Structure 1
């Protein structure tokens, strides 16, 4: 006899025949797992390691080649530099040899030219140089001293040769004479000028005397 109070919905409910059982939570269908994809070969660690080794090897080869080229270049430059230095030394030696050969010839020419001048002329020049260096005489005073019968008594031609061959700056000679008057006799500038141009004094030209006075120390 059946139970009239039995609830037909309270018992376990089975799915109708022909339908699959739900496998997911809360009756959701099960999720399908995607197949695992393989990495490309160029992302594999062994391929990256090989690529790094190849790059390092190429860089080392390039460095060795550069060093070799530099060494070869330096080795090639050394003989060229030595050759240039040797050429320079040879040229310097030739110049020195030419100078040594020319020096005696120049001395011989000077000696010959000096010997061609009469001794009296050479003596007059030597005396004139002494008067200028020691007494700061003017050109006219030197000539007068050389030709004076109370002085050196040289011939006028010898005295003129001496004057023409003196290597002096007459302005500077006048200045030295003016300094002597200033230091030893304490003369004024006007008095020094008069003494320098006087026919009874130093017989310098007005231009030479003015240069001397203008350049006297204060």
Structure 2
């Protein structure tokens, strides 16, 4: 095997490992919602389960199942990964992500109960605490098309409240 092929496998391994971890984390969180099957969630996951289940309870019967699934997945991304609206949409439609239709993803982000200012702040605090980034570097990461994809207003809110 050539050296170039080895590097290609390593790249696929790293990307695949990250994707598998993210998938497993999201799968584990959504598996905690046993309310529709009559199961009970453990006390540690009860709050997360009720938050994730909330959008489907309000869904009307005429909403397609794909849309409801996209909304539930979007709620998980918002609650656990503190993602931006654009970041959630991109993940829902990604061929390397959830592979929902554009219509289902748009329905999900339009009907999602999310506080994007709070999500931006949570991401900003993570960058500050774990990566020791400056406020301006955090702002750039929050608004970058290659980063978190928050709006400028959401990033400004996060930076203004970073030390609260």
Q: Deviation per CA, 1:155-195, whole angstroms, max 9, x where unpaired?
A: 00000000011111211111111011111111110110000
Q: 1:199 to 1:115 in 2, by over 3 A?
A: same
Aligned twin of 1:151 = 97
Aligned twin of 2:119 = 173
> May I ask how many residue pairs the two structures share in their alignment?
109
* Aligned partner of residue 147 in structure 2, secondary structure: coil
Q: Which 5+ residue runs of structure 1 have no aligned equivalent?
A: 1-109
RCO higher in structure (CA 8 A, sep ≥6): 2
Displacement of 1:214? 0.6
Q: Which has the larger radius of gyration?
A: 1
Q: Deviation per CA, 1:83-132, whole angstroms, max 9, x where unpaired?
A: xxxxxxxxxxxxxxxxxxxxxxxxxxx97953221110000001001111
Where do residues 1-218 of structure 1 align in structure 2 (5 Å cutoff)?
114-217=60-163
* Aligned partner of residue 133 in structure 2, secondary structure: coil
Aligned Cα root-mean-square deviation (Å): 1.7
* Aligned partner of residue 217 in structure 1, secondary structure: coil
Aligned twin of 1:25 = none
Q: Take 1:153 and 1:215, find their aligned partners in 2: how far apart are those partners?
A: 35
Q: Take 1:165 and 1:203, find their aligned partners in 2: how far apart are those partners?
A: 19
**TM-score normalised by L of structure 2:** 0.63
Q: Take 1:167 and 1:112, find their aligned partners in 2: how far apart are those partners?
A: 11
Q: Is the 8 A contact 2:59 2:68 kept in 1?
A: no
